[in-house]
Structure 1
Amino acid sequence: MTEFVLVAGAWLGSWAWDDVVPALRGAGHGAHPLTLSGLADRQGVPAGQQTHVQDIVGEIERRDLRDVVLVGHSYSGIPAGQAAERIGDRLARVVFVDSNVPADGESFVSAWPDGRAMVEKSMAENGGFWAPLTEADCTGQDLTDQQIARIVGGATPHPGATLTEPAVLARPLGQLPATYVKCLLDGAQPSGDVVELLTGERWRLVEMDTGHWPMFSRPRELAGVLLEAAAKG
């Protein structure tokens, strides 16, 4: 039995996986959606990037999970990638869903130069938090009006320190067994660092013809991708 640990991206909590979890459990696997510190039902908990890494590692160790497929969406690919190497032989595979990936010594904003000024401006205007999503952010992403309302209504401010603290990797990310899921409506090609990682023997690319939030727009299809990734090990 595979144990899926599911971590949504910026502004979101464990609730973002509600439409994906039933398919994973229905296939006989464990599914553990996780809310990171400072978000959703954990608002008010101080958090930096390493806090989020420890949130993931701590959940896996607390539950004594084995054969873990660790799934990081969007921003959460950065802490998930770091956590994946820290859980050792508990890890079966890490799946990056249209996500950023960590680079040793680099932060979320340093890896996103075009958006850095926008993110930092938002943090300065919102008490150190990245302001939540708006409806405009979700347009053109294969989402219904109802799905957009659900995302925007549930989004909470994102702790700024998680975006500015550097990642810490003990070994090259390409050594991890990984699947990268590219959502084509959010850009036809992965970022350059991901393209380079995909040239390695341990990384695989899966494309989905949907937007940046496939857990809402195509939950059954995303669950199928995750199940297939687990089967390949």
Structure 2
Amino acid sequence: MTALKRNPTIILIAGHWLGAWAWDDVLEHLETDHSRAIAITLPGLDRDDPARSTRTLDDQAEAIRDILARVDVSTDQPATLVAHSGANAPVSLVLDRHPELVHRVVWVDSGPMATGSAFAPDLPEGLEELPLPPFDVLAQQASLEGLSTEVLERFRAKAVPEPGPVLRQTVELTNDARSTVPTTLVCCSIPSAQVLDMARGGHPMFAEVANLETLDVIDLPTGHWPMWSRAGDLAKTIQSAASQTS
């Protein structure tokens, strides 16, 4: 891994239903630390895109690659990718296709996907998109701990339905070099001890963690959306990870 001449660019990528706006609170803290941080909205999550519901994981991976090129990321100055939740699918593709451009990947209450996996392979083909479910339903799938009524109202107002093709598409990975990219797991709704047990046991959600060559594990106890419930602490964790030289 090439030694960095300065702190690398940090690319923030939120999970399902979310755009760049989801990182606003974290960006405020990172800007105080004078980091070069950029939050992006993936294809399919731009409310004004008329073809939004047809976007695919490949479209999302290419968009991340385009951002890396636009901000002059290179093998000499690779970026830190921060992937929250369902952003793990397109980021896993980027790690597979361009590992040399990534200084470190930070998984926020998430982890790398395994080849042949999909988020919702049984989602009906006729379902074009998946709206944000009611919060009582969502809470059965992911912890809402730490989210105020005001935050939940903003989440509901700004959420964009997730494109069906993104949820159904199988992730195909071929490059073992993806496992050499230094990795930080930020464990929020599932404690790190449990995550590592799941990885060792081959659980589909975290099986790929067992293949990582360089791994740091950090507990940040809260719900599944720490960019809102613990924004300052998450920003410090991201900054610390991005500043590591290997």
The answer to whether the superposition gives a TM-score over 0.5 is yes
1:44 Cα deviation (Å)? 2.7
- What runs of 5+ residues in structure 1 fail to find an aligned partner? 111-115
Q: Which residue of 2 aligns with 1:113?
A: none
Q: Which residue of 2 aligns with 1:64?
A: 72
Q: CA RMSD in A?
A: 2.4
The one-letter code of the counterpart of 2:229 is S
Residues 133 and 6 of structure 1, relative CA distance in 2, 3 Å threshold: farther
Residues 37 and 200 of structure 1, relative CA distance in 2, 3 Å threshold: closer
Give aligned pairs, total. 222
The one-letter code of the counterpart of 1:142 is G
The one-letter code of the counterpart of 2:110 is S
Q: Distance in 2 between matches of 1:171 and 1:89?
A: 11
Q: Distance in 2 between matches of 1:196 and 1:86?
A: 16
Matches within 5 A, 1:104-143: 104-110=115-121, 116=122, 120=123, 124=126, 127-136=127-136, 137-138=138-139, 140-143=144-147
Q: Distance in 1 between matches of 2:115 and 2:99?
A: 18
Mapped pair 1:35 → 2:46: no
1:195 Cα deviation (Å)? 5.8
Matches within 5 A, 1:82-231: 82-110=93-121, 116=122, 120=123, 124=126, 127-136=127-136, 137-138=138-139, 140-172=144-176, 173-184=178-189, 189-190=194-195, 191=198, 192-193=203-204, 194=206, 197-198=209-210, 200-231=212-243
Q: Distance in 2 between matches of 1:169 and 1:90?
A: 17
The one-letter code of the counterpart of 1:52 is Q
Q: What secondary structure is seen at the aligned counterpart in 2 of 1:20?
A: helix
The one-letter code of the counterpart of 1:55 is A
TM, length-normalised to structure 2? 0.81
Contact 1:135 1:149 in 2 (8 A): no
Q: Distance in 1 between matches of 2:90 and 2:135?
A: 26
Q: What secondary structure is seen at the aligned counterpart in 1 of 2:58?
A: helix
TM, length-normalised to structure 1? 0.85
Q: Distance in 2 between matches of 1:207 and 1:57?
A: 29
Residues 100 and 92 of structure 1, relative CA distance in 2, 3 Å threshold: closer
Q: Distance in 1 between matches of 2:208 and 2:83?
A: 19
The one-letter code of the counterpart of 1:68 is A
The one-letter code of the counterpart of 2:152 is I
Describe the superposition over 1:69-126 as per-residue Cα deviations: whole angstroms up to 9, x where unpaired.
Answer: 101111101111221343343211011111252222221225xxxxx5xxx26x75xx
Q: Distance in 1 between matches of 2:160 and 2:191?
A: 22
1:163 Cα deviation (Å)? 1.2
Describe the superposition over 1:6-33 as per-residue Cα deviations: whole angstroms up to 9, x where unpaired.
Answer: 1100011010000011222221211111
